Amino acid sequence: MSLDAYIAGLPKAELHLHIEGSLEPELMFELAQRNNVAIPFDSVEAVRAAYDFSNLQDFLDIYYAGANVLLTRRDFEDLAFAYFRRAAADNVRHAEIFFDPQTHTDRGVPFEVVVEGLVAGMDLARADLGVTSGLILSFLRHLSEDEAFATLEMAKPHLHHFIGVGLDSSEVGHPPSKFQRVFAAARDLGLKLCAHAGEEGPPAYVREALDLLHIDRMDHGN
């Protein structure tokens, strides 16, 4: 057996996956047509070319443009299950996925539509593919802590669906300390804590995530 075949056959856990970032160009175009949403790309090939990015912000620009096609419960279910099909093909047995509710609620998509759609995709993956999963609610760090608190409040009726909260989006200028109170509140609700730090920010952000947010898991940290 070759090394590649051996690695392909190993059971795997995926612990760092942004579900909106998994949107493939083909599905982006399908959902854009389904929902009559204009996107800034003329073809699947143009989207693939745009993913040849050189920095975080270029990726985020594509990420948010793609998210605009996600409007209904079915859209979020299709997004999640499309990821799980690809993951199962790589022998992923368990995945813990980030989602960014503020990306959608700020566009007028109800919080429960996002969660119910993703959970439906997760349930289908467990039943049809044998892939288990957990859902991590991520706060957008370029927004305010008050907005993060509002999102946490919206999450309270759905806490049983979440294994934790996270922190992502544009890092520079938005240190972990900005979210110290909301992370403490999330821990009081029984949620695990993780945060992106050191992806493009200074080492001090890694220290803050550890010493001020008291995270259970570091995302990036390099």
> Could you write out the DSSP letters of every residue in 104-141?
HHTTT--HHHHHHHHHHHHHHHHHHH--EEEEEEEEET
Check if 199 is active-site.
yes
Contacts of 187 (CB under 8 A, 6+ apart): 193, 214
* Radius of gyration of the chain measured on its C-alpha atoms: 17
Give residue 50's pLDDT band: very low, low, confident or very high (50, 70, 90): confident
CA distance 201 to 172: 5
Enter the DSSP assignment of 22.
G
pLDDT above 90 (res 46): no
Give residue 51's pLDDT band: very low, low, confident or very high (50, 70, 90): confident
User: What is the percentage of the chain residues whose pLDDT exceeds 70?
Assistant: 100
pLDDT at residue 52, as a whole number: 78
Mean pLDDT (whole number) for 173-179: 98
Residue with tokens 């907005």: 147
Token pair belonging to 117: 């759609």
29-45 pLDDT, tens digit per residue, is 899 999 999 988 888 88
Structural domains of the chain, ranges and CATH numbers in brackets: 14-23+77-220 (3.20.20.140)
Give residue 55's pLDDT band: very low, low, confident or very high (50, 70, 90): confident
Q: Strand 217-220 to strand 12-18: parallel, antiparallel, or no bridges (unpaired)?
A: unpaired
Ranges of beta strands (E only) in the chain are: 12-18, 92-99, 132-140, 162-168, 192-197, 217-220
Among residues 24, 116, 147, 199, the one annotated as catalytic is 199
CA distance 16 to 105: 23
